[in-house]
């Protein structure tokens, strides 16, 4: 499926729509929130860092003085924070939820609840958040959930015997697993919940702080320099990387269960519907992941009686 020349200027009017973007303080998330606000949506910047989130809020307000943009605390690596956020932002209908925040290829760390950080933040935190916000999403007339994955999901596999990397941890394998989990979740959510459109998107190779965070945390100065240079020479901009998320969130012809990414070898360029790894379409794997996610987070998806 080829999207031609779709750009942020093609986003339809979003007046009276409400959106939440996780990880909106920088990179893909920032530009996603900025463009949603530019086109009239009331946007909540859901950020872990109050300082960085506040700086992003001021940047958006400087560019869009009349925009309806607010900042709220959300740490996806802490389920108590996820519950607090949902309790504070789940009372009104929610038209768009962009599950964008994440970490990439970091040394092994644990979340506040004891999960491996990449799986816990990238997948479990967003699984819990979406489930807790489900009543608000279903209260909107045509709500969408966009979950941001990665082309590296092609290298991922679900290790149900060691989801949290306790027996063996390799940071890139853990990242691939978390991004495959994002795809499995997005597709399964679209199948399970009537009245809700769930899609996936990925930015290709876009220059953000994700590439350098892992080497920095590991004390790998050479690796950090290499990633910094690659971002400058090879990657597309973070604004360009946000386009697939924006397409999935707003384009009238975006389809539930599909994934959108850059059209140039899934690395750079304007958005198009992209192929996903065969594992992402395996319904039995999706079922097992869903059940494991409910057990680990304590969040079940409650839908209105019909």
Instruction: Look at residue 205 in the predicted model and tell me its pLDDT.
Output: 77
Please state the pTM of the whole predicted model: 0.91
Whether the per-residue pLDDT at 53 is higher than 70: the answer is yes
> How confident is the model over 82-134, as pLDDT tens digits?
999 999 999 999 999 999 999 998 999 999 999 999 999 999 999 999 999 99
- Written as one string, the DSSP assignment of 10-21 is GPPP-TT-EEEE
DSSP 119: I
Distance between CA atoms of 105 and 123, rounded to whole angstroms?
14
* Number of Cβ within a 10 Å radius of residue 251: 18
Catalytic residue among 30, 169, 175, 301, which? 175
197-201: strand order across its sheet: 69-73, 42-47, 18-22, 96-99, 144-148, 197-201, 259-264, 268-273
Whether the per-residue pLDDT at 4 is higher than 60: the answer is no
How much of the chain exceeds pLDDT 90, in percent? 83
Distance between CA atoms of 215 and 228, rounded to whole angstroms?
10
| Integer angstrom CA distances of residue 11 from 19, 37, 149 | 14, 11, 21
Let me know: does 259 contact 276? Beta carbons within 8 Å: yes
Instruction: Look at residue 65 in the predicted model and tell me its pLDDT.
Output: 98
Instruction: Look at residue 46 in the predicted model and tell me its pLDDT.
Output: 98
Judging by beta carbons within 10 Å of its beta carbon (0-12, 13-18, 19+), is residue 10 exposed, middle or buried?
A: middle
Instruction: Look at residue 92 in the predicted model and tell me its pLDDT.
Output: 96
Instruction: Look at residue 305 in the predicted model and tell me its pLDDT.
Output: 47
Region 127-155: what's the mean pLDDT?
A: 97
Of 172, 173, 184, the residue nearest 293 (C-alpha):
184
pLDDT: is 269 or 50 the higher one? Answer: 50
175 part of the active site: yes
Distance between CA atoms of 61 and 53, rounded to whole angstroms?
12
> How confident is the model over 240-298, as pLDDT tens digits?
999 999 999 999 999 999 999 998 666 778 999 999 999 999 999 999 999 999 999 99
Whether the per-residue pLDDT at 76 is higher than 60: the answer is yes
Confidence of residue 306 (pLDDT cuts 50, 70, 90): very low
Side-chain-facing half-sphere of 290: CA atoms under 13 Å: 22
Confidence of residue 204 (pLDDT cuts 50, 70, 90): confident
For 23-26, which contacts have Cβ atoms below 8 Å and span 24 or more sequence positions? 23/47, 23/48, 23/100, 23/101, 23/102, 24/53, 24/56, 24/100, 25/49, 25/52, 25/53, 25/55, 25/56, 26/52, 26/56, 26/208, 26/209, 26/238
Least confident piece of the model among 63-67, 215-219, 291-295: 215-219
Judging by beta carbons within 10 Å of its beta carbon (0-12, 13-18, 19+), is residue 202 exposed, middle or buried?
A: buried
Whether the per-residue pLDDT at 56 is higher than 80: the answer is yes
* Number of Cβ within a 10 Å radius of residue 260: 27
Distance between CA atoms of 66 and 59, rounded to whole angstroms?
13
Whether the per-residue pLDDT at 167 is higher than 90: the answer is yes
To 10 degrees, what angle do helices 243-250 and 27-38 make? 40
Judging by beta carbons within 10 Å of its beta carbon (0-12, 13-18, 19+), is residue 252 exposed, middle or buried?
A: exposed
Of 150, 216, 139, the residue nearest 178 (C-alpha):
150
| Residue positions counted in the chain | 306
Whether the per-residue pLDDT at 217 is higher than 80: the answer is no
């Amino acid at each position: 499926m080829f999207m031609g020349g779709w750009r942020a200027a093609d986003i339809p009017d979003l007046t009276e729509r409400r959106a939440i973007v996780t990880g909106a303080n920088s990179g893909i998330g920032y530009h996603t929130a900025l463009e949603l606000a530019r086109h009239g949506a009331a946007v909540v910047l859901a950020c872990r860092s109050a300082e960085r989130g506040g700086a992003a809020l001021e940047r958006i307000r400087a560019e869009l003085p009349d925009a309806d943009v607010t900042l709220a605390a959300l740490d996806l690596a802490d389920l108590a924070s996820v519950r607090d956020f949902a309790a504070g932002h789940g009372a009104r209908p929610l038209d768009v939820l962009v599950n964008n925040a994440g970490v990439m290829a970091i040394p092994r760390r644990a979340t506040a609840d004891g999960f491996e950080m990449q799986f816990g933040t990238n997948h479990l935190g967003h699984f819990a958040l979406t489930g807790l916000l489900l009543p608000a999403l279903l209260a909107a007339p045509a709500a969408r959930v966009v979950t941001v994955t990665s082309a590296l999901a092609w290298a991922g596999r679900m290790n149900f015997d060691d989801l949290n990397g306790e027996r063996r941890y390799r940071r890139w394998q853990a990242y691939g697993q978390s991004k495959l989990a994002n795809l499995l979740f997005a597709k399964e959510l679209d199948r399970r919940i009537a009245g809700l459109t769930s899609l996936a998107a990925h930015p290709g190779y876009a220059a953000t702080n994700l590439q350098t965070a892992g080497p920095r945390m590991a004390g790998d100065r050479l690796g950090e320099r290499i990633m910094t240079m690659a971002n400058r020479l090879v990657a597309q901009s973070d604004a360009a990387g946000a386009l697939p998320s924006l397409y999935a969130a707003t384009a009238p012809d975006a389809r539930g269960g599909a994934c959108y990414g850059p059209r140039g070898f899934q690395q750079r360029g304007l958005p198009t519907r992209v192929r996903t790894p065969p594992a992402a379409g395996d319904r039995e794997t999706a079922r097992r992941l869903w059940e494991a996610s409910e057990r680990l987070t304590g969040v079940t998806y409650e839908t209105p009686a019909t």
